[in-house]
Amino acid sequence: MATSSEEAPLDPAAAPPVIVCVGMAGSGKTTFMRRVNSYLHSKQKPPYVINLDPAVLNVPFDSNIDIRDSVNYEEVMKQYNLGPNGGILTSLNLFATKVDQIVNLLEKRAKPQEDKAPIENILVDTPGQIEVFVWSASGTILLESLASSFPTVIAYIIDTPRTTSTSTFMSNMLYACSILYKTKLPMVLVFNKTDVKDAAFAKEWMTDFEAFQDALQRDQEGDDMDGEGGSSGGGGGYMGSLLNSMSLMLEEFYAHLSVVGVSSKVGTGMDEFFEAVAEKKQEFIDDYLPELQRRRDEREKLKKETREKELDKMMQGMSGLGGPSITNAKADDDVEVASDDDGEDYDSEDDAIAERESLQARYQTAVGDNDDSVMADASFAKYLHTPRS
């Protein structure tokens, strides 16, 4: 029987976009996800929701795939003796081993089916600790796997009222910039909580360098009034000139972003957000997909070269066994090293077996059937269900 991976790949233009929501703790990421979810439901286009935050207590919307159904975060911390961040990271690592299953399932759901309409949007919620997700190997694997089948867009959520000083604004922009360069995916900047503070100031700072200069000046004056060097913005002295140069440097970065203002609480800005997602989806197809393909080809080439090198080495080794070597000294060395290695291997073999067994036991607990399992069930597919309610 043909597996989904053998079936015709999805046409990127017809494939649903994957919207990956990232944002600092308290930026309103969960509220935003809830709003987007209900907006799409109101348009009769229910999204496919994936929760990748193993530590979240309550998700105020139904998710189709929930990392918590597969990995027991508390148990991971206990079993591996980890803190909260290590627990999230290890949970993501365990979950990342199942990414092929997820992508296969999403590919199936994105194609027309007899009984179900194909999904039109895939929403992904990520852990509040951005760095754990964005900078971890498993985060990269998850994102790359999704991006290899679907146009993937990052929605970076920003707390607008807390970004009104030039220095916090710049910190946020640098963070967004680092995420963009790390993930290499198109990004929509979502200025949230616009019911409290309009995002016009931020849009202006991103498009008009002089407006940012004026704001810097104002922050500096504010700091001077504080007397102590102040904390309102950090526009003065060394900080002032640093912010100045950075805003110049970031001009190119701003040019590649879509910026929208939303209020997750009130519900404004949703149409603009989806327009931005459509724009970034097209950008993904035009710019990112060829780049992704180039990287994939490069990786394949490298793998092939390594394989050929190994094969070469092996063939040389085999021909060395066939008769007297013309480079005896080298051959002697080789034998010596080999026998040394053998001895060491034998000694450490017991350790290796013990280590393997203990790892095996932990892994068993992680994925196994016992009650302490950190993986709620090894037969993962059964958790890839439709919304619960």
Ligand X SMILES: Nc1nc2c(ncn2[C@@H]2O[C@H](COP(=O)(O)OP(=O)(O)OP(=O)(O)O)[C@@H](O)[C@H]2O)c(=O)[nH]1
Give the count of residues interacting with ligand X (CB under 6 A). Answer: 16
Phi first, then psi, for residue 187 (nearest 5°) are -130, 140
**164 contacts ligand X (rule: CB under 6 A):** no
Q: Quick check: 79 and 73 in contact, CB under 8 A?
A: no
Between 36 and 106, CB nearer to ligand X: 36
Binding segment for ligand X among 10-18, 24-32, 237-245, 274-282 (CB under 6 A)? 24-32
**84 contacts ligand X (rule: CB under 6 A):** no
| β-bridge pairing 258-261 and 187-192 | parallel
Give CA 217 to chain center in angstroms. Answer: 37
**264 contacts ligand X (rule: CB under 6 A):** yes
**28 contacts ligand X (rule: CB under 6 A):** yes
Strand segments, DSSP code E, in 244-380 are: 258-261
Dist CA 58 CA 378 (whole Å)? 23
Q: How far apart are the first and last CA of the chain?
A: 33
Min. distance of Cβ 35 from ligand X in angstroms?
8
Considering only residues 326 to 385 of the shown chain, the ones binding ligand X according to CB under 6 A are none
Considering only residues 105 to 134 of the shown chain, the ones binding ligand X according to CB under 6 A are 128
Dist CA 126 CA 89 (whole Å)? 12
Considering only residues 185 to 224 of the shown chain, the ones binding ligand X according to CB under 6 A are 192-193, 195-196
Q: Largest Cα–Cα distance in the chain?
A: 87
Binding segment for ligand X among 4-12, 19-27, 142-150, 294-302 (CB under 6 A)? 19-27
Dist CA 98 CA 102 (whole Å)? 7
Between 240 and 269, CB nearer to ligand X: 269
Min. distance of Cβ 123 from ligand X in angstroms?
13
Min. distance of Cβ 276 from ligand X in angstroms?
17
Q: Which residues contact 295 (CB under 8 A, 6 or more apart)?
A: none
CA neighbor of 89 nearest in space, from 124, 135, 121? 135
**387 contacts ligand X (rule: CB under 6 A):** no
**31 contacts ligand X (rule: CB under 6 A):** yes
Dist CA 109 CA 27 (whole Å)? 31
**23 contacts ligand X (rule: CB under 6 A):** yes
Binding segment for ligand X among 29-37, 200-208, 288-296, 354-362 (CB under 6 A)? 29-37
Dist CA 146 CA 137 (whole Å)? 14
Min. distance of Cβ 117 from ligand X in angstroms?
29
- Interacting residues with ligand X (CB under 6 A): 23, 25-31, 128, 192-193, 195-196, 263-265
